[in-house]
Amino acid sequence: MANKLTRTDVIALLTAKGMDYELSLQPLYEHDCRTFVNGPQTLRQLFNDTRSDACFIVYEGERITYEEAYAKAGHIACLLVEKFDVKKGDRVAISMRNYPEWILAFMAITSIGAVAVAMNSMWTSDEMLYGLTDSGSKVLFADQERLALISDQKLDVELIAVRSNVGERDLETLLKKQSTSDMPAVDVGPFDNATLMYTSGSTGHPKGAVACHRNIVSSLMSWELEVLINRQLFNLEVAEPTHQPATLLGVPLFHATGLLAALLLSYRGQRKVVAMYKWDVAKAADLITNEKINSFVAPAAMTGDLVEYANRNRKDLSSLDVVGGGGAPRAPDQVKSIAKAFGKALPNTGWGMTETNAIGTGIGGEDYLAHPSSSGRCSAVLDIKIVNESGQNLDVGERGELLIRGTSIIRGYWNRPEANAETFIDGWLKTGDVAYLDEEGYLYIVDRIKDLVIRGGENIACAEVEAALLSHAQVLEASVYAVPNDRLGEEVGATIFVNGTIDEDELRVYLQNLISRFKVPRYIEMSADSLLRIASGKIDKKRIRERFVKKMEEGNLV
């Protein structure tokens, strides 16, 4: 039975003066925002405050405690400061699989006031070169796969190799020569930049979203607060833990979901983080059982894989308490199937962006089952509103663009003043999502204004794929769009006007040399005629997409 108190009442009680999650208006950038008074002020403080002998990182046969991780990060920090002359504000890039070194490097970088550039490990060599050049990174931590991609590039960056036999540049070799190992004394403040994460916009190259320490810590504490709000609001009982809480890290750490919701949220709760080299549903199920994992946060495609696998193989995954979503919405049927597949586990999800440090709205448990198509209600440190094309506020139930503001919103885009001017309006972030709010404040995302495909949580700019297609000598016109997909949410589709004939497989090979494999269209429709256009002469992408999806639904694709 739900509590008679409203959500607003509960938030007011839990964030009042003197409470652990007390909120007060404090300046952030150019605006006052609701800010947590207590708790860590920086990531450096978060890492130091949570040192313990509890198990922290599990990867294959390796196990590292929180104390050991802090000591190893301190050693790497000394290396960065003393050998590579890394100073506050310098950018240091990380490009690798979810190895323990990713986490240790991140701790070291942010603890000395440098900026961790979380590079997409699925990028091509050209995309990597763009990210390194755009960010102005001074040092790059990279594994063998990434090093091979840039081996023939002339880079103005120092390389530190991870899990690679490259002699003098190998991290372990460098650390053996590094005599000092205690975390360097650096004054890191809440408004110092901490991360630079690349996100695909609707046009051109990806943009680097810059977040300060306060942005990130606010997100972490907001999730903690949300748990307390729901416990009180819905009278949830809390069972005594029988073992250390643990989360499965199946999402790449370069994602806001992987970095914040899976990794950084673990420190204060002393969760064990079980990292996977790559997503493998059978291995994930075994890890959940063997490591007694109680939390898994991932896009709908991955949680859907797990539901299907558990049902098909009658796999006991009853240690799971929470199966969270992020990156892309779940189908309502999957929401209802999670509890059935995993026993006591209840689903939760939320809406957020890289630009919001992964928080925004949230919903879980019975509340989610009752509102399976909603993205939930707004975080206590944020505000949301729906506006029309003129920027005027819309009433309940009316559809318009979703805007958001508050303590977790990024500083802005790295060296992109034009994008900042377009995206940030008097403290509000224009999300590019079309949504509406109901009478109780539940948010429903219904469409997007941005020309993006969101494939399994990965943002893909249609313009980037179109540019790659148009670089082929025989492609005269191209329209790229989202095609519905049960597992991934959306797949990439393309309709192209071609001169002569092109072999589809050869075209895909050509594209893989220009853009990441996950961006290459799964569906390619070729036309011998010029593409449909609207009155202004622009390609009519909406009608082209509608026609293609209709053909697909009717089974008329050749």
Do 321 and 433 lie in one domain? The reply is: yes
> Is 2 part of a structural domain of the chain?
no
Distances 246 to 251, 274, 292, 295 between C-alpha atoms, Å: 15, 7, 7, 6
Condensed to tens digits (0 to 9), the pLDDT of residues 165-177 reads 777 899 999 999 9
Q: How much is the average pLDDT of 493-517?
A: 93
Report the pLDDT averaged over residues 47-59.
98
Question: How would residue 511 be classed by pLDDT, with cut points 50, 70 and 90?
Answer: very high
Domain final residue, candidates 144, 165, 199: 199
Count: domains in the chain = 3
What pLDDT is attached to residue 307?
85
The closest of 20, 21, 421, 34 to 214, measured between CA atoms, is 34
Q: Both 292 and 391 in a single domain?
A: yes
pLDDT confidence tier of residue 420, bands split at 50, 70 and 90: very high
Give the pTM. 0.88
526 occurs within a structural domain: yes
Q: Would you place residue 277 in the very low, low, confident or very high pLDDT band (cuts 50, 70, 90)?
A: very high
pLDDT recorded at residue 113: 98
In a domain, 48, yes or no: no
Worst-scoring range by mean pLDDT, 185-189, 192-196, 224-228, 371-375?
A: 371-375
Average pLDDT over residues 75-84: 98
CATH number at residue 314: 3.40.50.12780
**329 against 270, higher pLDDT:** 270
Q: At 171, list the tokens.
A: 């991290």
Q: Are residues 175 and 84 in the same domain?
A: yes
Would you place residue 276 in the very low, low, confident or very high pLDDT band (cuts 50, 70, 90)?
very high
| pLDDT cut 90: percent of the chain above it | 70
Q: Is the pLDDT of residue 184 over 80?
A: yes
Claim to verify: residue 299 and residue 423 sit in the same structural domain: yes
Query: Does position 365 have pLDDT exceeding 90, yes or no?
Result: no
Q: Do 440 and 320 fall within a single domain?
A: yes
pLDDT for residue 1 is more than 50: no
Same domain, 253 and 112: no
> Do both 258 and 275 map to the same domain?
yes
Runs of H (alpha helix) within 459-518: 462-470, 504-512
Q: Please give the pLDDT value at position 364.
A: 86
- Across the chain, what does the average pLDDT equal? 92
* Domain end point (choices 408, 430, 448): 448
In terms of domains, do 171 and 220 share one?
no
347 pLDDT band, cuts 50/70/90, is confident
The residue-averaged pLDDT of 48-66 equals 98
Kindly state the average pLDDT of the residues 543-553: 90
- In this predicted structure, the answer to whether residue 483 has a pLDDT above a threshold of 70 is yes
Q: Is residue 217 part of a domain?
A: yes
Contact predicate 201/413, CB 8 Å? no
How many C-beta atoms lie closer than 10 Å to residue 189's C-beta? 13
Q: What is residue 339's predicted lDDT score, i.e. its pLDDT?
A: 65
Does residue 236 sit in the same domain as residue 367?
yes
In a shared domain, residues 334 and 225: yes
Residue 259: pLDDT band with limits 50, 70, 90: very high
Query: What pLDDT is recorded for position 200?
Result: 76
Banded model confidence at residue 349, pLDDT cuts 50, 70, 90: confident
What CATH number is attached to the domain comprising 471?
Answer: 3.30.300.30
Does residue 262 lie in a domain region? yes
220 token code pair: 């972490």
- Determine how many CB atoms are found less than 10 A away from the CB of residue 36: 25
Sequence-separated (6 or more) residues with CB below 8 Å from residue 438 = 374, 396, 397, 444
Query: Which tokens go with 544?
Result: 């082209």
Q: Are residues 304 and 338 in the same domain?
A: yes
Does residue 56 belong to any structural domain of this protein? no
Given a cut of 60, whether residue 449 has pLDDT beyond it is: yes
Task: Tell me which residue of 542, 426, 424, 554 sits closest to 482, measured CA to CA.
Answer: 542
Kindly tell me if the per-residue pLDDT of 2 is higher than 60: no
Over residues 459-487, mean pLDDT: 89
* 157-163-169-174 Cα dihedral, nearest 10 degrees: 110
CATH number, position 173: 3.40.50.980
Q: In this model, does residue 318 exceed pLDDT 90?
A: no
Q: Among residues 448, 481, 508, which one ends one of the domains?
A: 448
In a domain, 167, yes or no: yes
Q: Is there a single domain that holds both residue 79 and residue 226?
A: no
Q: Give the pLDDT confidence of 121-133 residue by residue, as tens digits.
A: 999 999 999 999 9
Residues of the domain holding 81? 65-199
What CA–CA distance (Å, rounded) separates 305 from 318? 16
Confidence of residue 272 (pLDDT cuts 50, 70, 90): very high
Alpha-carbon dihedral angle through residues 82, 88, 93, 97, given to the nearest 10 degrees: 80
Mean pLDDT of 246-263: 96
pLDDT tens digit sequence for 186-210: 999 999 999 999 997 656 689 999 9
**In the predicted structure, residue 333 carries a pLDDT above the cut 80:** no
In a domain, 390, yes or no: yes
More confident residue, 558 or 147: 147
